[in-house]
Amino acid sequence: MSEAGIIAAVLWLALTAYAVLAGADFGGGVWDLFASGPRAREQRQAVATAMGPVWEANHVWLIFMITGLFTAFPSAFGVLSLDLYVPFTIALVGIVLRGAAFAFRAHGREAVGGASTWGVAFGTASIIAPFFLATGIGAVAVGLTSSSWAAPYSFLIGCFAVSMCAYLAATYLMVETEATPLESDFRQKAAIAGVVAGVLAVICLGLAPLAAPNLAHALLGRGLPLALLALINGLVALAAVSRSRPRIARVAVAGQVVLVLWAWAVGQWPSLIPPTVTIDAAAAPSSTLDALLVVIGVGMLALIPSLAILFRVFKARNPAAID
Amino acid sequence: MDNLTLARATMGTSLGFHIVFAVLGVGLPLLMLVAEGLWLRTKDEVWLDLARRWAKAFGILFAVGAVSGTALSFELGLLWPRFMAFSGAIFGLPFSAEGFAFFIEAIFLGLYLYGWNRLSPVAHWLSAIPVAVSGALSSVFVVMANAWMNTPTGFRLASDGHLVDVDPLAAALNPSTPTEDPHMLVSAYVVTGFLVAAVYAAGLLRRRDDLLHRRGLTLGMAMAASAIVLSGITGDTSARFIYQAQPAKFAALEGIYTTTRCAPVSVGGIPVDSQHHVVGAIEIPCLLSLLAAFDPNAEVRGLETFPPDDRPNAVLVHLSYDSMVGFGLTLGLLAALFWALFIYARRIPLRRPLLWALVAAGPASVIAMESGWFVTEFGRQPWIVYGILRTSEAATTAPALGLTFVIFFAIYIGLAITTARLLLLQARRNRTAA
Ligand code: HDD
Ligand code: HEM
Ligand code: HEM
């Protein structure tokens, strides 16, 4: 693999981390909005407790992605920024409002739990942000132009992304609330989200050859083994949810996100923006790539132990039961 | 309005907003570290109370800083796609390093804010160290990128316009970095110090005279006073450096139109292009030459020696510069007075006029800092990368920029108001809890 290829893979890993971690935070917002039943208040509190200490760190994966992209692939970054101006600007509004609303509500007048303006803002923005970020991905799958983000297929990808976020969050929250009455609430939500995500995935796959030739080419080509694995894993995840196996469900759903993203990446390798822009052609000069690899290496040495401490302290036991 | 104006307005507003939270992100963790450390040593609960209050406030401030910073990293590409396509490979490195600093800051802040009951007191205190260090590092890294825009080095342009010999390390350590970076860093402590002092001075004015307020004020003023001295020294170095490296910006600082020896400093006044003169200013002869080169007869290059298309807006730059230096000197005097009275009377000075002045010093320090950025950014115009790429060539061609500007402007106003209200609410809660 070329040096540019290694960096592209690292950036895709960062995107994967963002999707799995921040995706669950966005999904938390969805379930805050759709908190229901007699325990709606406790559901919202569980979301807030689980997200509080980690969402800001989870969010940095996106920043890392962006800065890495413009350092290593500046011309591709320029093209993406121009063509995806509209969806990314909307996503940005969502990201800003999501974070601010979450923090404002946590420090606001009323205790988290009841329906509140900031709560609604938090939930709505948690849908807008992943939806429009994903239409950007959809735009690349369809074939990047300045309007392809608005293609129906891109919107389908947007819906799929939101449903995956909700699915992720619900299974995480099943684990966080294990052995409390909330667990069955979140199991029910996970089942709904899982079925919706599954249906959307099948539709996306079915339409891909017609609407998104780039994606179809990737998934039916080199990405096929991973795509097949994703199909099997998707069934495992649904089964784990319906049988109340929170820990298995959480791993399987996170794994689903990983498999889908990597099936696509492996499939379209070595294209960066198919069909024309390749990873090597868009790469910065090798002096930049060398330096970036060093920065990433040194940074990871500091980052990984820090992350380990964070998740150890806050995710070791059931936080909803502690606070 | 055209895309260029709108893109500038959006970028400038976003940066001007973010920087207020960013400087607190640099300065407050250091204050929390000191206060909690004093508690560990003395077991005096007042220190712990201070650290806890600052931590709570920081919880809100950091979130707003993080989301506004995210807006910025997108906007760099969304508003200036050609700038980023050109520069990314050269100056992207400090941004990537900054990304790791954010990670560390966010992670340990999560531990600090949510870990009061889960970590031992010493471990909790230790977790503030990476927050303070990486806050300072974020500032250092991102200003390296800005410094590169002022004095771009670390690459060559081939005759076909292609980049060759890219050296990102040399770009990060460009000639402006040694002057701009320290000045920004100490200014962050200046602003944090004065803002914190202003909060407690306001409390003392309302006759909430207790140990907590006195110590909050003292600690804030300790930070403000030591940093403002360094701010003056580093600012002076910055000015001398741009005398050599960015002559158009330097000429605009004092509205020097005609190349002269014995150039004056103009206090106040408005540079009028048609008269080639700063109208209504108090002129101090030869001072600029003296400050720039330690020689009253040193030559200062005038704005008229630059083609009209290459001149920054002298009115904006001069007024911003006067505002920064004017507020800076006043704040310095105020800090000196505070500590002189403190040392003379051996107790904290609580005269009401002084407290009122300290309340005003908080916002004044923010204005000084914002003005400084106006000097840097307006003074670089019309270049986005000095001497290499024009701002007009870098702006996006995307539609509906006006709408983006209006939306973001509205969001920032909403965020500012809500943040202020929540901080006040928090202060009230602290009081009722105490
Ligand atoms: C509290 C804030 C504060 C105070 C008191 C001062 N400054 Fe400042 N100044 C800034 C905050 C600032 C800043 C943080 O806003 C800038 C913008 C870019 C930078 O690195 O620092 C700046 C930039 C800046 C520049 C432009 C640098 C460039 O474009 O490369 C000059 C020449 C000075 N300053 C000079 C001074 C002098 C002579 C001061 C003496 C009193 C002074 N500053 C006080
Ligand atoms: C260190 C980080 C910073 C970077 C990398 C940066 C970068 C930029 C860029 C790319 C532009 C647009 C191009 C241009 O007008 O030349 C810009 C403009 C601007 N920035 Fe900065 N900036 C930084 C800090 C700040 C801060 C903290 C402020 C605070 C007030 C600020 C104020 C402005 C303003 C007012 C403009 C518009 C300039 C004009 O219209 O002439 N900048 N900056
Ligand atoms: C002089 C200018 C700047 C300084 C001193 C500065 C410093 C900081 C600091 C200390 C933080 C931590 C958050 C906080 O405490 O509020 C922060 C956050 C952030 N800044 Fe800035 N910044 C500057 C300009 C910029 C610019 C130009 C960009 C964009 C390119 C940027 C991007 C970000 C991002 C993305 C975050 C969020 C990190 C997170 O999620 O934790 N900053 N900045």
Name the residue facing A71 among B86, B93, B419 (closest C-beta).
B93
Name the residue facing A93 among B119, B400, B411 (closest C-beta).
B411
* Reported confidence tier of residue A107, pLDDT bands at 50, 70, 90: confident
Between the CA of residue A80 and those of A22, A66, A75, A286, what are the distances in Å? 22, 11, 9, 22
Q: Taken in order B333, B334, B337, B338, is the CA torsion positive or negative? A: negative
* Reported confidence tier of residue A316, pLDDT bands at 50, 70, 90: low
- Nearest alpha carbon, ligand 3 atom 42: B69
* Record: contact B78-A302, CB cut-off 8 A: no
Size of interface A-B (CB pairs under 8 A): 212
pLDDT at A196: 95
- Nearest CA-CA distance, residue B85 and chain A, Å: 4
DSSP letters of B65-111?
A: HHHHHHHHHHHHHHH-HHHHHHHHHHHHHHHHHHHHHHHHHHHHHHH
pLDDT at B27: 96
- Nearest alpha carbon, ligand 1 atom 2: B369
Q: Taken in order B409, B7, B366, A107, is the CA torsion positive or negative? A: positive
- Nearest CA-CA distance, residue A247 and chain B, Å: 24
Query: What residues contact A12, with CB distance under 8 A and at least 6 apart?
Result: A261, A262, A265
Q: What is the DSSP letter of A22?
A: I
Between the CA of residue A231 and those of A20, A211, A252, A255, B165, what are the distances in Å? 18, 21, 11, 11, 48
Query: What residues contact A113, with CB distance under 8 A and at least 6 apart?
Result: A40, A41, A42, A44, A45
ipTM of the complex: 0.89
Is the C-beta atom of B78 inside 6 A of ligand 3?
Answer: no
pLDDT at B434: 63
Average pLDDT over chain B, rounded to whole? 92
Number of H helices, E strands in chain B: 13, 10
Query: Which residue, B137, B89, B153, B147, is CA-closest to A68?
Result: B89
Residue B198 near residue B359, CB atoms below 8 Å = yes
What is the rounded average pLDDT of the residues B416-420?
92
Query: Which residue, B351, B349, B358, B355, is CA-closest to B330?
Result: B358
- Nearest alpha carbon, ligand 1 atom 5: B328
Look at residue A182 and tell me whether its pLDDT is greater than 90.
no
What is the rounded average pLDDT of the residues A232-242?
91
Query: What residues contact B392, with CB distance under 8 A and at least 6 apart?
Result: B4, B382
Q: Is A284 on the interface with B (CB under 8 A)?
A: yes
For residue A16, the SS3 value is helix
Question: What is the distance between the alpha carbons of residues A287 and A268, in angstroms, rounded to a whole number?
Answer: 26
- Nearest alpha carbon, ligand 2 atom 30: B16
- Nearest CA-CA distance, residue A161 and chain B, Å: 20
Look at residue A320 and tell me whether its pLDDT is greater than 70.
no
* Reported confidence tier of residue A323, pLDDT bands at 50, 70, 90: very low
- Side chain identity at residue A239, one-letter code: A
State in Å: Cα B239 to ligand 2 middle: 18
* Record: contact A71-B88, CB cut-off 8 A: yes
Which position has the token pair 């939500």?
A189
| pLDDT tens per residue, range B359-416 | 999 999 999 999 999 999 999 989 999 989 999 989 988 888 889 999 999 999 999 9
- Look at A81-85, A155-159, B276-280 and tell me which has the smallest mean pLDDT: B276-280
| pLDDT tens per residue, range B266-317 | 898 888 888 888 888 888 988 999 899 888 888 899 898 999 889 999 999 9
- Nearest CA-CA distance, residue A225 and chain B, Å: 33
Nearest ligand, measured from the Cα of B148: 2
Ligand 2: atom nearest CA of B146 is: 5
| pLDDT tens per residue, range B183-237 | 999 999 999 999 999 999 999 999 888 999 999 999 999 999 999 999 999 999 9
Nearest ligand, measured from the Cα of B330: 1
User: A85-106 and A74-83 helices cross at what angle (nearest 10)?
Assistant: 80
Express as a percent the part of chain B with pLDDT over 90. 71
pLDDT at A318: 43
Cα Rg for chain A, rounded, in angstroms?
A: 19
Is the C-beta atom of B277 inside 6 A of ligand 3?
Answer: no
Q: Give kind and range of the element (H or E) at residue A18.
A: none
Question: What is the distance between the alpha carbons of residues A294 and B146, in angstroms, rounded to a whole number?
Answer: 22
Is the C-beta atom of A59 inside 6 A of ligand 3?
Answer: yes
